């Protein structure tokens, strides 16, 4: 989702995780650190917990994917439950349609933040790479280990009740084995939860950070 060109050594999720592990070894070494991830970033964060749980001091998972194959996920219906009048330019029609496809709370503020915080990543992504990666190598080879994985350090898992991309049921099945996890399912929240329930999102993240320092 950036300007880094695709590299031949990243063909699947195991390759992607190996690259992250290499980066951690180079930049962090054996020092403790915390990890945060949203959506597929949350999936990779779970992969890091699987490999480095003793080194990781805490995890923040925002609308994380926990099952790579979307057809196997338990998903609620994604519907817009709160909608206000939003002005957009004619040249933004396609972008606005994309926004509305996932919007659970559609307001001028959530539309503004979508354009400023999410759209740049979508526009700079390498579409050919992401399409092939999702089609051929999206799942970690040890995904089946996730439901049995335990972890005893501060975790914050934030999910959306109307998130039709990853849902919340599968995430709970994994999170209930994290002995120090706060697990939240927010109503009026979809996959772009941080734009739609900002105050609750901020409060939960602040609580997680306080628990890390305690």
Q: Cα–chain-centroid distance for residue 189?
A: 14
Question: pLDDT tens, 128-166?
Answer: 999 999 999 999 999 999 999 999 999 999 999 999 999
SS3 20: helix
Query: So what's the pLDDT on residue 4?
Result: 79
| Token pair of 17 as six digits | 């995780």
Q: What is the pLDDT of residues 83-135, one digit of tens each?
A: 999 999 999 999 999 999 999 999 999 999 999 999 999 999 888 999 999 99
Residue 109 neighbours by CB under 8 Å, 6+ apart: 195
Type and span of the H or E element at 61 = strand 56-62
Domains and CATH numbers, the chain: 13-77+126-213 (3.40.50.1820)
C-alpha span between 139 and 156 (Å, rounded): 23
Under the banding of pLDDT at 50, 70 and 90, the label for residue 1 is: low
Contact 16, 44 (CB under 8 A): yes
Residues of the chain with pLDDT > 70, as a percent, come to: 100
Residue-wise pLDDT tens digits, 177-199: 999 999 999 999 999 999 999 99
């Amino acid at each position: 989702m950036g300007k880094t060109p695709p590299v031949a050594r990243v063909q699947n999720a195991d390759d992607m995780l190996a690259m992250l592990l290499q980066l951690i070894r180079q930049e962090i070494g054996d020092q403790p650190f915390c990890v945060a991830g949203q959506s597929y970033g949350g999936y990779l964060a779970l992969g890091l917990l699987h490999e480095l749980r003793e080194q990781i001091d805490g995890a923040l998972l925002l609308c994380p994917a926990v099952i790579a194959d979307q057809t196997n996920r338990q998903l609620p219906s994604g519907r817009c439950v709160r909608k206000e009048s939003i002005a957009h330019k004619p040249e933004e029609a396609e972008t606005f349609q994309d926004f509305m496809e996932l919007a659970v709370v559609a307001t001028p503020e959530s539309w503004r933040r979508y354009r400023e915080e999410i759209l740049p990543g979508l526009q700079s992504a390498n579409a050919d790479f992401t399409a092939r990666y999702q089609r051929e190598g999206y799942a970690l080879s040890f995904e089946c280990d996730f439901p049995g994985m335990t972890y005893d350090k501060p975790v914050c898992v934030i999910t959306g009740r109307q998130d039709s991309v990853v849902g919340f049921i599968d995430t709970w099945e994994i999170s209930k084995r994290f002995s120090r996890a706060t697990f939240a399912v927010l109503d009026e929240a979809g996959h772009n939860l941080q734009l739609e329930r900002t105050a609750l999102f901020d409060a939960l993240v602040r609580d997680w950070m306080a628990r890390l320092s305690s």
